[in-house]
Amino acid sequence: MDISNLRKKLTGVGGGFLFAVMALQPPLDVLSYFMNEYGSTLITTALRAVLLFAVFVYGFIVETERRRYLIFGGVIAGFWLLHTLNCFRLGYQDPLGDLGEYLKLVQFPLWTLAFTTLLQSCDGLESHISGALAVNFCTVLLVIGLSYLTGSPVYTYDSPSRGVKMGLLGWFSNHNGQSAIVCMLVIGLLLWAYHTRRVWIFTLASALGFTLLYFTGTRLAYYSAMLTALGLCFFVLISGGRMRLCCIPLAAALVLLVLFKGVSIMETRQTLTGESFQICQEPTDEIMGEYKDYVYDSGEIPPEIEERITRVYEDVYGGLSFAGGTLLGDLLDRFGTERVMKAYNYTTKATTLYDGRTKKLKAMELLWEEQDAPTRLLGFERSNVAIGPNLYGPENDISALPYYYGYMGFALFIGFIGYIFLPIAISCVKNLQGLGSLLTVDFGAWLMLLVLGLGAGQLSGNVLQNPSASVYLSLAAAELCHITKAYGSGRLRARYERRQGLTIIQSPVIKGGG
């Protein structure tokens, strides 16, 4: 078949293809949950790899200038080759597993590239994409409803030892990743509702979206709800028109979030966490005695204080938690008490020593100190994060990248982030006079979606390597690139000026003067 005819046919079905790709994400997440329950996600991993390959090839065929695809593909394949060679040098334990994790990470740039091509090739596609996110939000609600109807709900926080079952999660495996997904879907839902130009639909969407975020129970969901309400309210106001009334449900949601914060699942969870900290802080304070408020600054530690700190690490944190989990005992055995104390800057605060997220980062820092120069440049495989029976891969996505993929991989990823945001900043600076035409509700929504998603990846985690979350991030990045390109070419400014002119013609003053 002639390539030009194939390109034309594929471009013609671009909207349906993109909608289908988006609609598949929640069902694949649910399938992953049940496969994980049976001890294997091999099938869903393979399905996602096939889907990624299909979308990449689809974009490559539709694209008329394929140099970007060749550059991106070459960089991704070239780095993987170097990383693999270094892992073989160290003694590869699980090459396929390591490849699977790498494919999850590179979905973000590859999806972004393909989505950008589709947006540029298929006219009018950008105005319908938010509808796909609205459909996915409804799918998530349906899954949560089904989990309760079948008597098998999954909770955001489920701790049998403390009798804790809180938060709406549904049949999704990871509460951090799913919280980020829900945050992004709510923004897409509100953007779709705004496009309907009906305030009552926007009000209903706001009620559904912010209620789900509130009852999800995570700090990420709660504070993202507040930021979403504030951010969208700003962009709706400056966009003007009758739809400024949408600020009313947004403001109401913000007020209710503040008023009911004290009785929220998030607050209850934080209280329980504080109680867990106190369980370890009490024996710590007994050991430290008069030195319980000691904070290490620099230099030598007085011998008496150092001896007490050592006792805290070995006697209080060398055992198991009240729930039966490992505290710092495995790190003490693996690296020695002195190295662990130094890594924690000799703190005796339970808020730090009992925190699992901090422990994972400290474990990686200690492992990293033992690596040679090539490994620091190219990273090591994920199996290296095992200490005894426990895996200590950091939850904070961006913080984990230098360890898994070295300084080179980290630099490439940050360079890709710059590839998205730098043109936006340059275009804004070059076209300051028409900036009002760029600051639309669409631009604001996609910008918030991308920033909140990336922020969730760093502050919460399990986002950049969550396949569905990567798809939503990529869609937002592609939309921003597309909008900025239209703005830089003058199309958005011309549309804005026409809209402003129409407003003047229809004003009461002009009508009266006529």
The residues that bridge with 259 in the sheet, in sequence order, are none
| Cα 411 to Cα 174: distance, rounded to the nearest angstrom | 27
| Cα 68 to Cα 299: distance, rounded to the nearest angstrom | 52
Task: Indicate the pTM of the whole model.
Answer: 0.89
Cβ-based neighbour number of residue 252 at 10 Å = 15
Confidence of residue 514 (pLDDT cuts 50, 70, 90): very low
List phi, psi (to 5°) of 403: -75, -45
- What integer is the mean pLDDT of 466-478? 91
The pLDDT assigned to 226 comes to 96
Mean pLDDT, the chain, rounded, equals 86
Confidence of residue 2 (pLDDT cuts 50, 70, 90): low
Are the C-beta atoms of residues 406 and 372 closer than 8 Å to each other? Answer: no
Cβ-based neighbour number of residue 144 at 10 Å = 20
- What integer is the mean pLDDT of 119-130? 76
| Cα 378 to Cα 90: distance, rounded to the nearest angstrom | 12
pLDDT of 498 > 80? The answer is no
The pLDDT assigned to 500 comes to 43
Helices within 24-128 (DSSP H only):
25-37, 42-62, 67-90, 95-121
